[in-house]
Amino acid sequence: MFANDAPRHVVPRWRTATITSAAGELTPLSEGPRPPMSDKDFLGDKLAEWREQQTVAHAADVVGSAIVLGQDAAAREAAEFLVANATEVPSPTYRLALRVLGREVVSGDLHTAIRTLRRQLHEEPRSPLTWVDLARAYSIVGQATQATQAMRAALQLAPQHRFVLRSAARLQLHHRDPEHAHDMLRRNTATRHDPWLMAAEIAIAELVDRSSNLLKTARDLVEGRSFAPQHLAELASALATHELRAGNRKRARRLFQRALEAPTENVIAQAEWVARQQGPVEVDDRLLQTPRCFEARAFDHFWEGRWASSLEETWRWLEDEPFSILPVIHGSFVAAVMLEDYAGAEAIIARGCGANRQDPRLINNLVFALASGGQVPRAIKLHKQARPTPQDDDLYVTWLATSGLLQFRSGAHSEGRRLYLEAIERASGVARQHQRAMASLFLAREEILSRSGYGAAAFERARLLSAALQLPYLGVLSTRLEHLLRAQDVETP
């Protein structure tokens, strides 16, 4: 399965309090913009303060700022100081220091981080930001109940705090309860006055196909420029997406231009996605160098055919949002399908499955990678755990095709062919043309590899379906199969 299939919305990112603060998202609305993230003098000032004061707080500020700016190397000294004083360092900050030093953060470290956060809360139980960081850590390891409880505590302590509310909404989205996320933002009085919260409310309303009551207020805020551009970027982007969905391309273009004046990386990722859908926006390549622009760069490299670079950026995206399923789906697709790196696909799924271990999309991609890499018995065992109902059309089509792959790799070619053809037939309509083409391509692959005698006919059908869509990656797969078919012809006496 492919992460680019679904519509994208400007839902809030959810990072640690340290990273979010360093990115400028917690700046009071009364203040103007912070120094530009690309301004080295900003980090230089932080470094000078740290070298003079030599405190954990100053070192943490350096590490957080350096990561946001994409200048990790400049923070090595401060990161080493934090690691050396680990008992005094909040666990999220400790993990950032490890990242700067290039050290692996494994599941065990996350459980250690959770224990450290709990110890900090025992000493200071009224810290809402620590409760939010604890909820995030629980989400990463897949402990949904504990994450909900921690977030509830944060909301009780700071019910109108921007960071707490946006994080709580993102947690509900992770738990697949977007209606709850929208209700929470819609009913909170702070949302009517804070453009960051308003942006989240409008974006999530679009996601659940509801009408936001804040659209007029939001337009007035953006047009009136009541706040610094950095505070209005996500709101303008959410409005632009709404206008585009309503068919108002000219208004959407103007709002995207406003959003890109001082964009967050989330805004850039949204604009990049819209541009790929032939939307009324162009993204200057220089914007892709914005710190933490991992998602946008991952897809930009993908559509340029730079598969290895796309996978590298996807790993960084997953590290930035380790509870999110989207980088795992995209990364496993790139590794298994475009690079035929089945071990790499398994690795990224293993890293991201803690928070999404029961998701049938991840199980499907893992089954595909295992079967394609020759681990058929293990793939069959996993595949049985993720059978969707026929009513879940997209997942069921994919499940049928993967079932066909398993049958082929088990030697049951006729049954495999039947399952693939059923998947192709079910993938009818414009919306599922991509699935139809993919199923046809992989049926052709299995026919060719099994030397069934149907390879040439299956390839020709897949080639025609793929060519009609004019998607670059389908063309690459088609060419790969053509070479495979020709190689077999050469081998035949």
Q: For residue range 453-486, what is the model confidence (pLDDT) as tens digits?
A: 999 999 999 999 999 998 989 999 999 999 999 9
Asked if residue 416 belongs to a domain, the reply is yes
Residue-wise pLDDT for 73-93, tens only, equals 788 899 889 888 887 887 667
Q: Is residue 71 part of a domain?
A: no
Residue 81, domain member (yes or no): no
Q: What is the pTM of this model?
A: 0.86
Instruction: Please compute the mean of the pLDDT values over residues 285-299 and round it to a whole number.
Output: 93
- The answer, yes or no, to whether residue 386 has pLDDT greater than 50, is yes
Output the pLDDT for position 35.
Answer: 46
Mean per-residue pLDDT, 397-402: 94
Q: What tokens appear for 394 in the block?
A: 């997209």
DSSP state of 452: -
Structural domain including 342 reads 298-491
Over residues 403-431, the pLDDT tens digits come to 999 999 999 999 999 999 999 999 988 77
Residue 339 falls within a domain, yes or no?
yes
Query: Is residue 396 in a domain?
Result: yes
Alpha-carbon distance of 303 to 471, in angstroms, equals 9
- Mean pLDDT, residues 363-382: 96
**In this structure, is residue 233 part of a structural domain?**
no
Residue 441, pLDDT > 60, answer yes
Would you say residue 34 lies in a domain? no
pLDDT score, position 390:
78
442-456 pLDDT, tens digit each: 999 999 999 999 999
- Give burial (CB, 10 Å; 0-12/13-18/19+) of 250: exposed
The DSSP result for 212-242, as a single string, is -TTHHHHHHHHHHT-S-HHHHHHHHHHHHHH
What's the mean pLDDT in 313-341? 94
115 vs 131, higher pLDDT: 131
> How many structural domains is the chain composed of?
1
Give the residue ranges of DSSP H helices in 373-412: 376-383, 393-409
Q: What are phi and psi of 112, to 5 degrees?
A: -65, -40
The reply to whether 30 falls in a domain is no
What's the pLDDT at 88?
81
470 token code pair? 């004019």
Is-contact 162 194, C-beta < 8 A? yes
> How far is it, in rounded angstroms, from Cα 238 to Cα 166?
14
Residue 422 belongs to a domain with what CATH number? 1.25.40.10
Check pLDDT > 50 for residue 37: no
> Does the pLDDT at position 104 exceed 90?
no
